[in-house]
Each structure stands twice: as C-alpha cells, then as structure tokens.
C-alpha cells in the first residue's frame, strides 16, 4: 500500500521510517501527479506558512484539498493547522477540512517544548501514547463532526473527523508505531 508524505518542507523522513516499518510504501509528494494511486497522505510537522506558500507554488493546494475529501489524511502539528477550519494566533488560511479551531504555537516557543503521556478518550480504543510537543498548535475548539481521540491535561490534542486525523504533537519522534498503525488502518478501509 502506497501512502504519501507531503515532502515540501518539514519532518518527512521520520514518517517515512514509521510507514516502512509497518509495511507501507512511503511516497514523497511534491506535485499533484504524485497523489495518484495513494491510499492516504500524512501532512507532517514543519512551518505552516511555508507549507501553504509551497503548496500554492507547486499547484498542489487544490488537488491536495480534493484528494483529502476522498482519501485518508493525517495532519501532524503544522499539518493539523493546514486541516483546521479556523486558524488563529495569527489567523491564516487553511484547507478547512476538519471542524477544529487551532491557535498557532499555542503551547509556546521552542524552549517550551515537552514530552508527556496523552490520555485516551472513549473514542480512542488504543492505549495511552506519548506526545512530543514542539512549538505545537493548541486545539481551541472541537466542533461539528470532529471527535477528540487523545487529550493532554483534558485538552484535545488529536481529533478525527471521518477519514481525517489532526494531531498537535509529533508521534513520529517516539518509539511507538501505534498511531501510524491506526492511520494505516484508515488507509486500508
């Protein structure tokens, strides 16, 4: 199964390693043509403003949005910002596909980065997992069809809406493959 990783900017290689380790074939996506034949795509962490500029420069904005209305996608950190319906701190445009509001850098600056255990909600049937937060956005509101899967200190940090996931932390930087395996299950359906 081929799974894309948006490879314009950001933490691409760690996601590729997780996917490969679970038997998937990671595909770097930089152009619309590279979306063909993918079972899903990960939008990795990085810098959301740079990603938006590069998506537009590579004529990928519209095709990616269309792809994500039909196939599974997982926005991680900056990728979650790209998927959110509303972005604040400061406001910026997004693909507006997941019913959440996110505040950019909501957990603080680089020096405020931390690692902690995340609590599962009733919607998450897996184990507690570790979250790595690096200049992470904060989910300010979960609305509509979005459901919280994982929390940190009772705050939502990972949500699911249909075939889309948004996580404000970096699961690719832990030893666990639980969340990547969960995403691959979405891709298999």
Specify which residues 138 forms β-bridges with. 103
Known catalytic residues are 77, 170, 172
Q: Which helix (H) or strand (E) holds 63?
A: helix 61-68
| Contact yes or no for 159/169 (Cβ under 8 A) | no
As a dihedral over the C-alpha atoms of residue 108, residue 109, residue 114, residue 116, rounded to 10 degrees, the angle is 30
Q: What angle do CA 118, 114, 144 make, to 5 degrees?
A: 45
């Amino acid at each position: 199964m081929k799974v894309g990783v948006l490879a314009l900017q950001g933490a691409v290689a760690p996601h590729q390693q997780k996917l490969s380790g679970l038997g998937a074939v990671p595909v770097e996506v930089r152009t619309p043509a590279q979306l063909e034949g993918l079972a899903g795509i990960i939008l990795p962490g990085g810098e959301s403003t740079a990603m938006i500029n590069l998506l537009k420069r590579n004529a990928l904005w519209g095709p990616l949005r269309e792809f994500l209305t039909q196939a599974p996608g997982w926005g991680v950190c900056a990728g979650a910002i790209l998927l959110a319906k509303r972005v604040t701190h400061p406001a910026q445009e997004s693909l507006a596909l997941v019913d959440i509001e996110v505040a950019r850098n909501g957990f603080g600056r680089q020096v405020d980065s931390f690692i902690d255990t995340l609590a599962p909600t009733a919607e998450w049937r897996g184990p507690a997992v570790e979250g790595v937060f690096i200049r992470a956005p904060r989910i300010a509101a979960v609305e509509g069809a979005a459901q919280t899967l994982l929390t940190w200190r009772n705050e939502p940090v990972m949500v699911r809406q249909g075939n889309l996931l948004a996580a404000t932390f970096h699961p690719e930087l832990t030893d666990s493959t639980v969340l990547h395996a969960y995403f691959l299950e979405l891709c298999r359906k």
